[in-house]
Amino acid sequence: MAKIFDSSASYEVIRRLEIAGHEAVFVGGAVRDHLLKKTAKDIDIATSAEPDEVKAVFDNTIDVGIAHGTVLVLIENEAIEVTTFRTEGTYTDHRRPDHVHFVKTLREDLLRRDFTINALAMTKSGQIIDLFDGEKDLNERVIRAVGNQAERFHEDALRMLRAVRFSSVLDFDIEAGTLQAIHDNAHQIKHVSIERIKIELDKLFTGVNPMKALNILFSSQLGKELSLCTDKMEELKRALPFNTASEGWAFFATIAGITPSELANHFKLSNEERNFIKAVHKIYTKRLTSDYTINDYYLHGLPELKCAEKFFHATSEDSVTLTDLDIEANKNSLPIQSKQDLVVNGKDLIEWTGLSGGPWTGKWIGKIEQAVLHGKCENTLIDIKDWFMNDFKCEK
């Protein structure tokens, strides 16, 4: 029988668990994505075997989350996550269960999952197990909580943001009762760690329909609770799509009135993301009053320049703006892209002057860099030497 997933290792994991007398199925996002004819990002297997029993079946395993029933099985050069059927205890802190209970039936396991479309399972021969009409919701493109919505969000407030994220990623609507429960329980999102929130927002920004999700975020108060609001809806619409999650963060740090530092600190952005949103903010602010200079093209990367220009376009209707191709052409036409491209270095300066090395070489390399960049001399040994010897003499 043809295999649905490319990962032959995952089939081998199920086969071996079954031989050992356990039940094992594909579950969650992988099954959903298969039915949507999309390639699954990660394949999860759920099993009746308890972690020790899983470990007894395979030679190589890693305890990644034993307390939650998850064992990573290393097999055929792949790492497959295998999780014991479980239910979750009470959630006194609204973000993680006080304890998990291993259970023997798949039904109990599927009941604890967030949405009907994520509560689908599939046997290794491709038979779908659908206890909550998940396939119907998939066909109708609806996100519906499994069971009592308010209770499910009360247990784990992150699920509200997951619903909103899926509405962007899948371009699905959130079922009315589930949406109402998000409105009613939005304030509980404060119990969720910022790291988990950020992961969902990253996915939301780069989804198929971020506008749909952001509209829900703002109208449900979730946005306000997350300190992620804007009244610049038209501008936001024009700034979409975001090519990367960083562009989404940059929008809020540039247009929505939160400073880049505040946003980066609040959402614990990585250094790379922090630098990106700061650069976009800086370029955009300058762009409001002037055209890009040679140094702007030189100092900033293409992603930052393009993103700032996109935001400029989104916020200043009448201005003539540059296309991505214009920006690429302008940057590529610079005589050098970085200091490393210069054909001379400090040693050349020492040789030409007969002086010994020191901080002065760095200072003059900087001057040469600017001279080449602004076309005062070509990036050739002869030209640079000419320009340098002349200016160096003048300054002395």
Binding site for ligand ATP (CB under 6 A): 28-29, 41-42, 44, 113-114, 118-119, 156, 158-159
Residue 113 interface partner, choices Mg ion, ligand ATP, none, CB cut-off 5-8 Å depending on type: ligand ATP
Would you say 75 or 117 has its CB closer to ligand ATP? 117
CB of 215 to ligand ATP, least distance (A): 21
CB nearer Mg ion, residue 161 or residue 344:
161
In the list Mg ion, ligand ATP, none, the entry touching 158 (Cβ below 5 to 8 angstroms by class) is: ligand ATP
* Contacted by 156, from ligand ATP, Mg ion, none: CB < 5 to 8 Å by type: ligand ATP
Q: Does the CA dihedral 210-216-221-222 come out positive or negative?
A: negative
Nearer to ligand ATP, 147 or 241 (CB): 147
Give bridge partners of residue 25 from the DSSP assignment. Answer: 46
Cα–Cα dist 98/252, whole Å? 35
Minimum distance from residue 392 beta carbon to ligand ATP (Å): 59
Task: Give the total of residues touching Mg ion (CB under 5 A).
Answer: 2
Q: How near is the Cβ of 44 to Mg ion at its closest, in Å?
A: 6
Question: 118 contacts which partner out of Mg ion, ligand ATP, none, CB within 5 to 8 A by kind?
Answer: ligand ATP
Compute the least distance from the CB of residue 32 to ligand ATP, in Å: 6
The binder of 396, among Mg ion, ligand ATP, none, by C-beta within 5 to 8 A per type, is none
Quick check: 42 binds Mg ion (CB under 5 A)? yes
Q: Of 59 and 195, which CB lies nearer to ligand ATP in the complex structure?
A: 195
In the complex, minimum distance from the CB of residue 192 to ligand ATP, in angstroms, rounded to a whole number:
9
Half-sphere exposure of 75 (CA within 13 A, CB side): 22
17 phi and psi angles, rounded to 5 deg: -65, -40
Binding of residue 29 to Mg ion (CB under 5 A): yes
Given the complex with ligand ATP, which of 124 and 159 has the nearer CB atom?
A: 159
* Closest CB to ligand ATP among residues 172, 297: 172
For residues 34 and 331, which CB has a smaller minimum distance to Mg ion in the complex? 34
Residue whose Cβ sits closest to ligand ATP: 29
Single-letter amino acid code for the residue at 58: F
114 contacts which partner out of ligand ATP, Mg ion, none, CB within 5 to 8 A by kind? ligand ATP
Q: How far is the CB of 88 from ligand ATP (least distance, A)?
A: 8
Q: Kindly state the smallest distance separating residue 18's Cβ from ligand ATP, in Å.
A: 21
- Find the shortest distance in angstroms from Cβ 118 to ligand ATP: 3
Choice between 191 and 385, CB closer to ligand ATP: 191
CB of 41 or CB of 393, closer to ligand ATP: 41
Nearest-5° Cα angle at 306, 305 to 312: 90
SS (H, E, C) the chain: CCCCCCCHHHHHHHHHHHHCCCCEEEECHHHHHHHCCCCCCCCEEEECCCHHHHHHHCCCEEEEEHHHCEEEEEECCEEEEEEECEEECCCCCCCCCCCEEECCCHHHHHHCCCEHHHCCEECCCCCEECCCCHHHHHHHCEECECCCHHHHHHHCCHHHHHHHHHHHHCCCEECHHHHHHHHHHHHHHHHCCHHHHHHHHHHHHCCCCHHHHHHHHHHCCHHHHCCCCCCCHHHHHHHCCCCCHHHHHHHHHHCCCCCHHHHHHHCCCCHHHHHHHHHHHHHHHHHCCCCCCHHHHHHCCHHHHHHHHHHHHHHCCCCCCCCHHHHHHHHHCCCCCCHHHCCCCHHHHHHHHCCCCCHHHHHHHHHHHHHHHCCCCCCCHHHHHHHHHHHHHHHC
Q: Residue 70 CB, nearest distance to Mg ion (Å)?
A: 13
Residue nearest to Mg ion (CB): 29
Give the binding site for Mg ion (CB under 5 A).
29, 42
